[in-house]
Structures are given as C-alpha cells and as structure tokens.
C-alpha cells in the first residue's frame, strides 16, 4: 500500500486496519497478521506497526492475547462506535469545507441530497 | 531503552582538511535510521569511523565496546566487495565471510539469497548493479550483530531490486539490532525509517523521529530534508 509521506505512518496504518475491520476483510474476533508480516505487507517499519497496534489496543478496537497474537475485538458495540467515529471524522471535513464556501446548514443538507440523487441517476444509466 | 551507538565529540580531518567536527550522536537499540546528506557530506566517512576503519578524535561506543578492533565485531558494514577478484564466484565470497566473521550465519544467508534470487555459481563480473547490491545486502544482514551500517544500498538500481532490498531489510533486521542506512534520496525509504540523521556543514544538523517531523511540520520527509538547505526550517 502507498502511504502519504506528509502524515504520520502509524496513523495511516491505524486507518488501514480500521478500514479492513469495518469492510469485513477482518471480522470481529479475527486474528491479525503477525507484526513483522504486517510490516512486510505494508512496507513499513516493525516499530511503526507496533505503535499503531499499541494505540488500537489502548482504545479497545483490538485485543492482545499473550502468546497468541492480536485479535479484532469481538465487542461489536465498540466496533459500531469506531464506525460512527470514522463517519463523523469524514463528515467533519466535508462540513468544514462547505461551510468555508458560506453554505448554511440547510444548504449543505440540500446539496448532499442533490449530490446523492444525481450520483444515483448516473449509476442507473 | 538502551543505546547501541554513542558518539561524543568526534572530529575527523583528512590531509589537514576538516571533514567532520564535534559529532555527538546516540542511537537506541531496535531502530532503522536514515543517514542523509549531500554527496561528499561525510556519510561514508562517519560509517567508516564507526566501524573503526578510519580514526578520528573523540569517543565512539558500540554496545559496551570502545576500541576500534572490538567495535568491528559488533558492526556489520556493507563492504563494496572491492577486495575480490572479478572472477570470484558468489559462493567463494560467502565462504570468505564465513571464515572471517564468527557471527556470519550461513542459514540466514541462504534464506536471504533465496529471497533475493542470488545464484551462488555466478561470478562477480556477471552481476548487474542491482544483483551486486542484493549480494552486499545478503552478506551484511547474514551477520548476527547489534548494528548494521548500509552505505547507499539503493544507488543506481532499478525499482524492483530496490523493493526487494527494502523488503529484506524489514524481514531480516533482528528486533534488537539498529540499522543506519545512508542515502541522498530519502523518499524511497522514508516509510521504513524511525528517525533521520542529517549530516550538513561537517556535523549533525538534525536528528529527529520521522513521524514527529510529519506531525509537526506537515511536510513529507524529502521536503523537510530539502528545506534544511533552503534555510527555511528552524531546527534546534
């Protein structure tokens, strides 16, 4: 995978794993690849993978089992929270950018609806 | 965390000319560190001082040893194979390494050679630039030691060879060993570096964690590095 070298790599590894967890490549309770394997797969440093995993263990999205490895949490409530958090982060960016164009909240909602309708119409062709 | 390398007040002159002055540098165990600087900045010289094949004034400690001869045993340096006859087969070079270095691990070498697709029957003169660099990497990483010094392992080689070498570094660097990799073009290795050290104006201008640079400056590592030469970034 390609990383954006302007953004801390550990942060991008976390986002990569979140994506794998929320799109079902990694399911609740699944074992994660070994740290060195992840480092090789992503072409990053083992220490950087370790940092990303440590933060995810602290926040409860993955669990470390001594001698067995790291697992996606089986706590689906926690995963639902994670998803909500990621959705809100994405929306916050869009909201800030549209707000910067002097759109009101109502106009932002209306634009978003219009966008989705047009996108849907485009796909039906 | 303990240190694998501690340099204090190192100064080196060659023919009355000051090459490096007042170098202080400490590297922790288990890191991959990029050694950056322009051609001629003294990157190779600094590596040769660490291995003990060049002598300066000041203190260099590798692990818990300070003398040049004792240091050699703790450092694996990517030698450029200049001492070998062009007709030497790779397998003979491997025999030589095994004889000279007691920490040379033959099974480790074979794993690396398989991964990098090195054929032991080939003679040195038959090797492409990329193949030659792969051989140097395999020989250097096959030693089991605390500190690895890779001097410009990506100079003038194709991108496939480069990727293979980067991958072998990630796979074969022992957890507790530290690796110092010199390069003057950082983008290709930036994602695997914990820290960078920049040699500029005969001394260490910067020693910083890469993710700290990214989060504090918002710049990629190459831009940050180049900004040091434009004089645009404050670094203390």
ipTM of the prediction: 0.84
SS (H, E, C) chain A: CCCCCCCCHHHHHHHHHHHHHHCCCCCCCCECCCHHHHHHHHCCCHHHHHHHHHHHHHHCCEEEECCCEEEECCCHHHHHHHHHHHHHHHHHHHHHHHHHCCCCHHHHHHHHHHHHHHHHHHHHC
Distance between CA B144 and CA A89 in Å, rounded? 45
pLDDT digits (tens, 9 = 90+) for B102-146: 999 999 999 999 999 999 999 999 999 999 999 999 999 999 999
Domain-located, residue B91: yes
Residues facing B151 on adjacent strands:
B182
The CATH number of whichever domain residue B155 belongs to comes to: 3.40.50.300
Helices (H), B117-209: 129-142, 159-172
Percentage of residues of chain B with pLDDT beyond 90: 79
In a domain, B236, yes or no: no
What is the distance in angstroms between the Cα of B55 and the nearest Cα belonging to chain A?
33
CA–CA distance from A63 to each of A17, A31, A60, A69 (Å)?
13, 9, 7, 9
Contacts of residue B87, defined as CB under 8 A and 6 or more positions apart, other chains included, come to B123, B124, B125
Of B204, B228, B207, B235, nearest to B10 (Cα)? B204
Cβ pair A6:B193 closer than 8 A: no
Measured distance CA(B161)–CA(B190) in Å, rounded: 17
How many domains does one find in chain B?
1
Q: Does residue B150 fall inside a structural domain? A: yes
CA A7 to chain centre: 15
Dihedrals φ, ψ of B117, to 5°?
55, 55
CB spacing of A40 vs B211 below 8 angstroms: no
Of 1.10.10.10, 3.40.190.10, 1.20.120.350, 1.10.287.3510, which CATH number belongs to A9-74?
Answer: 1.10.10.10
| B216 within a domain of the structure (yes/no) | yes
pLDDT band at B232 (very low <50, low <70, confident <90, very high): low
User: Which value, in Å, is the radius of gyration of the alpha carbons in chain B?
Assistant: 18
Instruction: Report the SS3 class of residue B230.
Output: helix
Residue B100 belongs to a domain:
yes
- Token pair, residue B221, equals 């590592």
Look at residue B155 in the predicted model and tell me its pLDDT. 81
B137-163 mean pLDDT: 92
Look at residue B103 and tell me if it is in a domain: yes
CB contact under 8 A, B193 and A45: yes
CA terminus-to-terminus distance, chain A: 33
Give residues 24 to 63 of B whose Cβ lies within 8 Å of A.
30-32
Domain of residue B223, residue span: 3-45+53-230
At residue B8 the predicted structure's pLDDT band, cuts being 50, 70 and 90, is very high
Q: For a pLDDT cut of 70, what percent of chain A falls above it?
A: 97
Confidence check: pLDDT of B28 > 80: yes
Euclidean distance between the first and the last CA atom of chain B, given in angstroms as a whole number:
23
Inter-chain touch A5–B222, beta carbons under 8 Å: yes
What is the SS3 assignment for B140?
helix
Q: Is A44 on the interface with B (CB under 8 A)?
A: yes
Using the predicted structure, report yes or no on whether residue A125 has a pLDDT greater than 50. Answer: no
Cβ separation A9–B31 shorter than 8 A: no
């Amino acid at each position: 995978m390609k990383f954006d070298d302007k953004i801390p790599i550990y942060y991008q590894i976390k986002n990569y794993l979140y994506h794998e967890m929320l799109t079902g490549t990694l399911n609740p309770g699944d074992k994660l690849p070994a740290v060195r394997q992840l480092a090789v797969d992503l072409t990053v440093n083992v220490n950087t993978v370790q940092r990303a995993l440590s933060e995810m263990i602290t926040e409860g999205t993955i669990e470390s089992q001594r001698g067995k490895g790291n697992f996606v949490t089986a706590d689906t409530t926690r995963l639902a929270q994670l998803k909500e958090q990621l959705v809100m982060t994405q929306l916050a960016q869009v909201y800030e950018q549209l707000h910067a164009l002097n759109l009101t909240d109502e106009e932002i909602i209306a634009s978003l609806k219009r966008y989705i309708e047009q996108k849907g119409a485009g796909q039906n062709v | 965390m303990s240190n694998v390398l501690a340099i204090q007040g190192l100064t080196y002159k060659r023919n009355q000319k000051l090459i490096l002055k007042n170098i202080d540098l400490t590297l922790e165990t288990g890191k991959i560190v990029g050694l950056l600087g322009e051609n001629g900045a003294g990157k190779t010289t600094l590596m040769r001082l660490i291995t003990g094949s060049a002598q300066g004034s000041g203190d260099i400690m590798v692990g818990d040893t300070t003398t040049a001869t004792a240091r050699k045993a703790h450092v694996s340096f990517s030698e450029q194979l200049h001492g070998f006859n062009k007709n030497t087969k790779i397998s003979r070079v491997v025999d030589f390494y095994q004889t000279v270095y007691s920490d040379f691990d033959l099974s480790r070498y074979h794993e690396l050679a398989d991964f990098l697709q090195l054929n032991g029957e080939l003679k040195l003169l038959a090797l492409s630039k990329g193949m030659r660099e792969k051989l140097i990497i395999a020989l250097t990483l096959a030693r089991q030691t605390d500190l690895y010094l890779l001097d410009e392992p990506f100079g003038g080689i194709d991108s496939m060879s480069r990727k293979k070498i980067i991958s072998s570094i990630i796979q074969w660097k022992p957890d507790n060993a530290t690796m110092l990799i010199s390069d003057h073009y950082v983008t290709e290795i930036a994602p695997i570096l914990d820290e960078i050290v920049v040699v500029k104006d005969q001394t260490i201008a910067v020693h910083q964690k890469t993710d700290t640079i990214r989060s504090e400056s918002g710049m990629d590592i190459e831009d940050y590095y180049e900004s040091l030469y434009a004089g645009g970034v404050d670094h203390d």
